[in-house]
Amino acid sequence: MPKLIPSKKFLDDAEKFRSNAAIRKKIAKTLVLIENNPLHPGLNLERIVNDPTAWSVRVDKRYRVSLEPLGFLPSGNPDWSAGILLLRILGHDDLYKMPR
C-alpha cells in the first residue's frame, strides 16, 4: 500500500469542500481506493498529457484528483507501491489545465 502525501494545494482544495458532505464522502472513498489499489478500474487512472509525471483519478463526473507517483521502476513506469503525492482536487477541465 502506497503512502499518500498531500501537497499544500491539495489540502487547500480539500478545505473548499468542508461544507459539502456528499463530495467529502466521495473524496474519502477515492483516497481509500488509491491507497488500497491505485490501479483500481473505478478510479479511471489517466496520464495528464501536459505534465510529464502527473496522473489523474476520478472522484465523480465533475471532480478529479491529480497525483504524482514518487517512485519509478527500472523500465520507467510508475511504481504505484511507492509513495503518492496528492497534487490537487479540481473540476475536470481545470485540473487538466493546471494539475499542480
Quote the pLDDT of residue 85. Answer: 97
CA distance 72 to 8: 23
Quote the pLDDT of residue 76. Answer: 87
Give the pTM.
0.93
Count of domains for the chain: 1
Quote the pLDDT of residue 46. Answer: 95
C-alpha cell at 56: 489523474
* Domain harbouring 29, CATH code: 3.30.2310.20
Residue 42: domain span? 4-97
C-alpha cell at 100: 499542480
- Percent above pLDDT 70 for the chain: 100
Q: Name the DSSP class of 22.
A: H
pLDDT tens-digit map of 12-59: 999 999 999 999 999 999 999 999 999 999 999 999 999 989 999 999
C-alpha cell at 14: 480539500
The C-alpha cell 482536487 sits at: 89
